[in-house]
Amino acid sequence: MMVCALAGVARAQPSVLVLHSVPVPSRAQDVIDKLDDSGAFALVDDQDINFATPLLSDLLLYDKVFVFTENEPSDPADLGDRLADYVDLGGGLVGAAFVQRQNKGLAGRIVDGEYLPYEIGSFVIGNASLEPVPGWENSPLLTGVAAFDGGSSSWRCDSALVAGAYEVARWSDGLPLVAFTDVGDQLGVGLNFFPPS
């Protein structure tokens, strides 16, 4: 009965915190602006993780956390532990390149517990485009995505999927592009591309 009663209730748009460690601030701002301009979020905030790690209490103020790296975060293991705690408490997590890159990404429980779908890998560059995985073409993770071309750079990692992860789309060279893990009540979503334009 509760499900029926709630079916007609409009759900508020989620809030999102963007965590980033990039050497050029405009790269982070590009991602923040695009999320904000999408109209999909009630609130888009950000925190630079080059020099500080957010507290769990800070993370819990948001429905979703989106994290991407180019520099190694100030404390990869501490951040990874806090993100795992956040997911355990019901928070939604999306990780983009290079959170799974050797010496540039996350560590701690978020990696050891396979909360995100990719193993640690190395940097890859070169032209590639989207190839949906058969059976996943209508995944909600691909809603509104008809094509995806990373251009001549197409920054990504050569990461394999962790055990139990689901691949929704791959790069035309066979590397995973979009994947997820089922972590309790949440999905741990991995986007194997560097999000700044």
pLDDT tens string 9-65: 344 899 999 999 999 999 999 999 999 999 999 999 999 999 999 999 999 999 999
What pLDDT is stored for residue 184 in this prediction?
Answer: 72
Give the pLDDT confidence score for residue 95 in this predicted structure. Answer: 96
- Give the HSE-up count for residue 114: Cα atoms under 13 Å, Cβ half-sphere: 14
DSSP state, residue 197? -
Tokens at residue 113, please? 């517990």
- Residue 112 above 50 pLDDT? yes
pLDDT, tens digit, 9 for 90 and up, residues 175-193: 999 999 988 777 899 999 9
pTM value?
Answer: 0.90
The reported pLDDT for the residue numbered 187 is: 84
Q: Is the pLDDT of residue 134 over 80?
A: yes
The larger pLDDT score, comparing residue 74 to residue 9, is at 74
Contact 174, 153 (CB under 8 A): no
Residue 1 has pLDDT above 80, yes or no: no
Going by their DSSP bridges, the two strands 92-96 and 64-69 should be labelled as parallel
Q: Which residues does 169 contact at the CB level (< 8 Å), separation at least 6?
A: 130, 131, 132, 133, 136, 141, 142, 145, 148, 176, 177, 178
| Amino acid 73: pLDDT | 96
Average pLDDT of the chain to the nearest whole number = 90
**pLDDT at residue 196 is higher than 50:** yes
Residue 3 has pLDDT above 90, yes or no: no
Smallest CA-to-CA distance from 176 within 161, 188, 164 is with 161
Report in angstroms the alpha-carbon separations of 25 from 28, 47, 69, 92.
Answer: 5, 11, 12, 25
Identity (one letter) of the amino acid at 127? N
Q: In Å, what is the CA distance from 177 to each residue of 12, 17, 47, 66?
A: 29, 22, 25, 16
